[in-house]
Amino acid sequence: MLDLLESALSRAQGPWLELRLHDRRTRSISVENGKTEMARTVRHCGVGVRAFVDGAWGFASTSVLSLEAIERAIAQATAAARAASAAKKRAGQKPADAPAAVAWRSGTYFSPTTEPLSARTLEEKIALVLQTEAEARKAASVITSAQATWSELVDEKYIATSDGARVHLRDDKPELRVSAVASRDGELQTCMEATGKTGGFGELFLHKTPTQMAMKCAQTAMDLLSAPFVDGGRKQVILAPDVVGLLVHEAIGHTVEADFVLAGSAAAGKLGQQVASPLVTLCDSGASEYEAGAGGIVMVDDEGVPCRKVTIIEQGVLKSYLHNRESAAHFGVEPTGNARAFEFDNEPLIRMRNTYIEPGASSLSSMIEGVEDGWLLKGAKNGQADANAEFMFVVGEAWPIKGGKLGRLHRGTTITGDAFDVLRSVDAVGDDFTWDLGSGYCGKGQPAKVDAGGPHLRCVATLASGGASMDDGE
């Protein structure tokens, strides 16, 4: 396939070009209450073409894998770039920076895995989902409904650019989610357990077996039925690794993506400044540091750039942003391998990969003992970043800590704060490490598979108080 892209490149004259052939096979199987609700395969295959002409970008794509079709897409992308360039000139806008030079490492890159997903049959995967759902549903009589979903992305990519990239990539990303609904006296509570990794079954079930996932979500949904609401406000909190993952991804990671920095994010102009506690070292890596199988493994990015580990914050000092080739040229640094496109018909954007805080020296028990009045927060759900560094994220479980002792489960809540204030408030970093944000997607105009995690972390944040119940209005 690289030959096909090279032929198209050799016949095109003039503009800088990037060709990316991406063949994606997605499979998902969803079972609910013992029934196969959805089982499907999706083949999404084609070539995306980016052209850079006189300070503007053009993009086009085709799902037809012939030389003629790719040449037509090249012509469309080039014409689009020319139209944009002419309009920029008429509007008096400065040209975009040309892509920075790259030390290419041509070759074939297969993401590490214990076994390829193709080693497991369709029947095996369907049986796994049926069994996991049944285990959650049958865990207790108050469980009225359960759901389990398998999904996998199997990718093969070829990238060639007119300035030298020649790369072939293969990557498998599986995911299993199981959720249960518990019901009593008209009250419904739900809990979900999920794992998403790069690799095979070995990576996916590294920490919990499917049975353990099913039991955990059923038990938590049941416990939430009688769980009180959180009494919110500004509190000392211990964040579990999945919530640390949300914090570093949402609250910090997005503000250091160089495109957000250029638009004026809260991290703009802060390189070299102390932005966090000296206990905090925060990184983003295309590899799976500390533990195998991180869900955001990327060996070479979608501009063909080999992925580098980026130390974003080192002992509290902001050291680096995340770059693609264009932003690297603008800032006068080397590209970091953070340009990612979800599918062939998406343009690469600056995205995170695996983002984490490096482990420290504190045990979890000593961190809990040091809290007079606070919360242990687990079960990361969704989160959002903001330009002004104010973040929010949702946690499914809140455990009160009074006088250094852990209390009973409370309902989930929302946490907010200024990201850098929260990182400055960190007074203990755990000695453990887990990747725990690999299921689901990060959204930024297009989805991306990412992961995040770290050790337990103790800091200060604002929690929402619980809400009124349905009965309040009746």
Partner 1 sequence: MTTQQQLTTIPGQTSDTLSPRAADGTHKPGGLAAMNLLDVCEVLVRRAEKRGATQVEVYGERVTALSSSLEQGLLKGAQAAEHEAFGLRVFVGDKVGYACVNRRDPKALDEAIDDALAIARAAEGDVGNDLFDPLPARPIHGLDDPAIRDATVDDAVALALRMLEAAKAEDARASVDSGSVGLSFGETAIASSRGLRVVDQDSAVSVGLFGMAIDGDEVSSFDHAADAVRFLRDVDVEHIGREFARRVTALLKPRAGKAYTGPVLFSPEAFEEIFLATLLSATDGDTVLKGRSRLQDKLGTRIATSGLTLVDDGTRAGAIGSAAFDREGRPHRRTVIVGDGVLHRFLYDGRAARRAKTQPTGHAQGSARSMPSIGTTNLAMAPGHLSDKALFAALGDGLYVTRFSGNVDEVSGDFSGVAKGSFLVKRGRIVAPVKETLIAGNVYGLLQRIVGIGSAVKRTMATEAPAVLIDGVVVTTG
Site for partner 1 in 443-462 (CB under 8 A): 445, 462
Kindly state the smallest distance separating residue 191's Cβ from partner 1, in Å: 10
Total residues contacting partner 1 (rule CB under 8 A)?
A: 92
> Based on CB atoms, which residue is closest to partner 1, 158 or 433?
158
Q: Binders of partner 1 among 255-274, rule CB under 8 A? A: 259-260, 262-266
Shortest distance in whole angstroms from residue 344 CB to partner 1: 9
Sole binder of partner 1 in the list 114, 131, 236, 414 (CB under 8 A):
414
Q: Which span sits near partner 1 by CB under 8 A: 111-119, 195-203, 231-239, 360-368? A: 231-239
313 within 8 A of 320, measured Cβ to Cβ: no
Best CA proximity match to 301, nearest among 461, 450, 89, 429: 450
Residue 139 vs 181, nearer CB to partner 1: 181
Query: Cβ closer to partner 1: 152 or 358?
Result: 152
Cβ atoms 396, 220 nearer than 8 A: yes
Which of 91, 103, 185, 272 touches partner 1 by CB under 8 A?
91
Nearest approach, Cβ of residue 200 and partner 1 (Å): 20
- Which is closer to partner 1, CB of 3 or CB of 123? 123
Residue placing its CB nearer to partner 1 in the complex, 361 or 387? 387
Site string for partner 1, 271-310 (x = CB under 8 A): ----------------------------------------
Q: Which range binds partner 1 by CB under 8 A, 28-36, 207-215, 239-247, 303-311?
A: 28-36
Under the binding rule (CB under 8 A), the answer on residue 347 touching partner 1 is: yes
Residue with smaller CB distance to partner 1, 263 or 361: 263
Q: Kindly identify the residues of this chain, within the stretch 33-72, that bind partner 1 according to CB under 8 A.
A: 33-36, 38-46, 56-64
| Residue 226 makes contact with partner 1 by CB under 8 A | no
For residues 238 and 228, the answer to whether their CB atoms sit within 8 Å is no
Contact pick of 3, 13, 94, 185 for partner 1 (by CB under 8 A): 94
Q: What residues numbered 371-400 form the site for partner 1, per CB under 8 A?
A: 381-382, 384, 386-388, 390, 392, 394
Q: Return the HEC string of the chain.
A: CHHHHHHHHHHCCCCEEEEEEEEEEEEEEEEECCEEEEEEEEEEEEEEEEEEECCEEEEEEECCCCHHHHHHHHHHHHHHHHHHHHHHHHCCCCCCCCCCCCCCCCEEEECCCCCCHHHCCHHHHHHHHHHHHHHHHCCCCCEEEEEEEEEEEEEEEEEEECCCCEEEEEEEEEEEEEEEEEEECCEEEEEEEEEECCCCHHHHCCCCCHHHHHHHHHHHHHHHHCCCCCCCEEEEEEECHHHHHHHHHHHHHHHHEHHHHHHCCCCCCCCCCECCCCCCCEEEECCCCCCCCCCCCCCECCCCCECCCEEEEECCEECCCECCHHHHHHHCCCCCCCEECCCCCCCCEECCCEEEECCCCECHHHHHHCCCEEEEEEEEEEEECCCCCEEEEEEEEEEEEECCEECCCEEEEEEEEEHHHHHHCCCEEECCCEECCCCCCEECCCEECCEEEECCEEEEEEECCCCCCHHHHC
**What's the closest the beta carbon of residue 474 comes to partner 1, in angstroms?**
6
**Contact flag: residue 361 with partner 1 (CB under 8 A):** no
- Interface residue with partner 1, options 11, 93, 118, 119 (CB under 8 A): 93
Least distance between partner 1 and beta carbon 254 (Å): 10
Phi, psi of 385, rounded to the nearest 5 degrees = -100, 160
For residue 291, the minimal CB distance to partner 1 (Å) is 28
The owner of tokens 């970008």 is: 57
Shortest Å distance, C-beta 470 to partner 1: 4
From the list 118-126, 155-163, 241-249, 293-301, the region that binds partner 1 by CB under 8 A is: 118-126
Stretch that binds partner 1, among 80-88, 149-157, 211-219, 284-292 (CB under 8 A): 80-88
Q: Which of residues 174-213 bind partner 1 (CB under 8 A)?
A: 181, 183, 186-190
